[in-house]
Chains A and B, each alone.
Chain A
């Protein structure tokens, strides 16, 4: 239906374009008046008026129609006597009703379901009809309005440009809408989570075992279960595991990245630079799932084998394997940024150092690096924020159980791993377990935001100093 409507709107728009163009031409010849814009702008004007209101309406309608129909149907089903204790069962009944309507349901159909399916068919019909009527109404109204305007020889180009500028502005607002969407969707579930679990229990608890939270309905928790839950969502092991793996990653990425950045900025010939820089940046372009696969199937078992030979017990999901591979993934973030930063240190500083007899490496160590330090720290912080937000490597190569350890040969878990583990498979709505994933997401979001903010400030300040 929607496709037919869009098709119709397109046809109307195209024909209106040609109509507007020729109409204004004939008016100008017949009445011998000077048009205020080129004829094609009258065409554009009609097209914009014909399509935008109708399309916006269609979009908004399509977003809300399923939700509204669902709530109506669930209510009618309840009035018919259908019994459901929570949202999941209501969803199930709704899906059944829908399947009956589409003729794809093969289970037993009782009277409640049959009546509801009839009601569903009625509402679908009603909604579709009113949608079509309303859209045609909107199209006709806007066509009449815009035709009247062009008959009066409006300044069509200016009007078209105002509309288009509005369109441009709306496009740039989508970034803000996305941010708002992220904040609201994380906050919404997190608030529910924190209404059951104390914020301090979450932030300072040392035990993470969300599988204990089997309770379906958050509102009907007994005191005993509450005590149990209180201890199940401790954030400390997760942040410890995340920081630990990120720390190992930085141990790999910072020296290698920094030294390659320095070498490329200070020593490498243009030819070497032109070849090696893109190859190192390949490391940033490889999908993280590939690194995860490599870490889980090659590096992890390899480390375990080496450990066995040395007489050590190495978990095949060791923090070391995940951290090492993550570090390699991050090398280009450190190297490219520090390369840029070092390049923008003014040559006069180096010349001064050479003039007093310093060697190249002494100049780099004692003049260039200190001058570039804020920028380098900024690039390292950006890399850290990449590391803690990285998901696939740790999901595939790090462990699932949360244990507090500083032994890199044991397995640890991270925030992102836990989010994935909680949300993969069947989710129980309104269970503290599902909501905890959003609380973790919120924590992660805030942490990366702060890191990025500090990093960007540092880099910007540094740039201003030398620009």
Chain B
């Protein structure tokens, strides 16, 4: 091999090497795109729900209440007959079986939706109004195109007759898509068309709030101690090693800790945001302490010395001068720690947050779910409608995380002083 050939070969190797590097970055970026695209294409349809426009006639004979009934009377009244009478008029069905199939096109909450319309206007008896009633999950998925209709009938959840009704609805423009308020307001449900993340949102909010209230002050105080006051001795070293190790302990171990100490020993209520918040706080603490200490360390000694020189005590120099300067870094570290806590699932599963909770929690000691746990729960469900719900929940979760991370970056870039 001549010199020139060798050189060419070396240059080819150089190019190859560079190409490998570029490819790996590209692969990593590609994956981000695929993941996001996959979730968005599956989930975006969940923000709309299919409704069937139906005429509802409030027949006095079928209702035991009068016009102008009070709220309690309406709440107690039975609207079941009204619902059946009106829904079967949506399509000319021939017999009982066909009527049953027709009724199955509406969600299980049709009665409540009619009742709500009456609650809004209690003078409807004898009148006819048009209502947009939520469609069942099967029709919803069919209408959104998530469900193939060319399968043989026995492999479909929708019968041929129901398809005929569906086509009739489409032809007469009786079926449309509305904003899915249930997805944001409702708690969990066995019916995908009624299931929502309201409960999970509140549960996550309480958990993160408790986590913030516990972890932030303790983390800031601990990092101030370690950075500014701690003498260099074995205890301090031991604390430091501990914090570094805790930050690397798998999150599921914190779940076991919570199970044994918080639930079995102190007997806090299971499945509640209170326990979740404490668990997440213990887990997040070391992850907040590390950036807090870094931002305290970044404040130059001249600031401290200046304060001490004009007669401030050590405390005053730290709390009046160093801490305010380190605050942006501290806050952004805290927000990133909380963002991690918001996405954490495994420890919450162990403390029983996987329970099926329909009610939206009204306080941190009510049983509740949380956003990531809801993702886990729904992803285990067989119904097709839950796939888009799960993806949409992930979209919500990711958008919270993006917002939190942006706030963290903004805080750091806007307020952090560069010392050099």
Contact = CB atoms under 8 A, between A and B. Distances in A.
Given A157-B313, A264-B25, A359 B11 contact: yes
A175 B250 contact: no
Given A168-B229, A185-B260, A335 B28 contact: yes
Interface string B6-43: 00001101101110111111011101100100110000
Interface string B220-263: 01101110011000000011001111101111111111011100
B245, B286, B314, B397: which has the most chain A beta carbons within 10 Å? B245
A381 B115 CA distance: 61
B327 interface: no
Contacts of A392: 345-346, 372, 376
Interface in A274-294: 276, 279-280, 282-283, 285-294
A18 interface: no
B248 A286 contact: no
Interface stretch (A78-86, A100-108, A254-262): A254-262
B401 interface: yes
B343 interface: yes
Chain B interface mostly: helix
Contact of B222 (A172, A287, A416): A172
B398 interface: yes
A355 interface: no
B17 A361 contact: yes
Contacts of B349: 395, 420, 423-424
B266 interface: yes
A437 interface: yes
B260 A188 contact: yes
A423 B350 contact: yes
A361 B14 CA distance: 5
Contacts of A251: none
A169 interface: yes
Contact of B246 (A179, A416, A438): A179
Nearest to B224: A168
Given A185-B257, A256-B24, A359 B14 contact: yes
Nearest to B225: A168
A231 interface: no
A293 B390 contact: yes
Interface in A33-88: 63, 66-67, 70
Contacts of B257: 178, 181-182, 185-186
A448 interface: yes
Given A178-B246, A259-B20, A286 B35 contact: yes
B21 A174 contact: no
A109 interface: no
Contacts of B256: 182, 185-186, 419, 423, 437-438, 441
A389 B239 contact: no
B379 A175 contact: no
Contacts of B21: 259-260, 262-263, 266-267
B398 A290 contact: yes
A151 interface: no
A157 B350 CA distance: 47
Given A259-B21, A452-B245, A389 B250 contact: yes
B250 A448 contact: yes
A161 interface: yes
A186, A263, A287, A416: which has the most chain B beta carbons within 10 Å? A287
B28 A385 contact: no
Contact of B401 (A267, A287, A453): A287
A389 B11 contact: no
Given A175-B239, A186-B256, A279 B379 contact: no
A416 B29 contact: no
A124 to B, nearest CB: 15
Contact of B242 (A176, A276, A280, A331): A176
Interface in A409-450: 416, 419-420, 423-424, 429, 437-438, 441, 444-445, 448-449
Contacts of A360: 14
A424 B221 contact: no
A14 interface: no
B410 to A, nearest CB: 14
B265 A67 contact: yes
A140 B286 CA distance: 37
Interface string B254-278: 1111011100111100000000000
Interface of B: 10-11, 13-14, 16-18, 20-25, 27-29, 31-32, 35, 38-39, 217-219, 221-222, 224-226, 229-230, 238-239, 242-246, 248-257, 259-261, 264-267, 282, 285-286, 289, 313-315, 339-340, 342-346, 349-350, 354, 372-373, 375-376, 379, 387, 390-391, 394, 397-398, 401, 405
Interface of A: 63, 66-67, 70, 157, 161, 164-165, 167-169, 171-176, 178-179, 181-182, 185-186, 188-189, 255-260, 262-264, 266-268, 276, 279-280, 282-283, 285-294, 296-298, 328, 331-332, 335, 359-362, 364-365, 382, 385, 388-392, 395-396, 416, 419-420, 423-424, 429, 437-438, 441, 444-445, 448-449, 452-453, 456
6 closest Cβ pairs, A-B complex: A389-B250, A287-B343, A263-B21, A185-B260, A168-B225, A361-B17
Given A328-B28, A382-B248, A416-B346, 14 more contacts: A165-B315, A175-B222, A175-B285, A176-B239, A182-B249, A185-B257, A186-B253, A186-B256, A259-B21, A287-B344, A290-B397, A361-B17, A420-B346, A452-B245
5 contacts: A182-B257, A185-B256, A285-B401, A328-B31, A448-B249
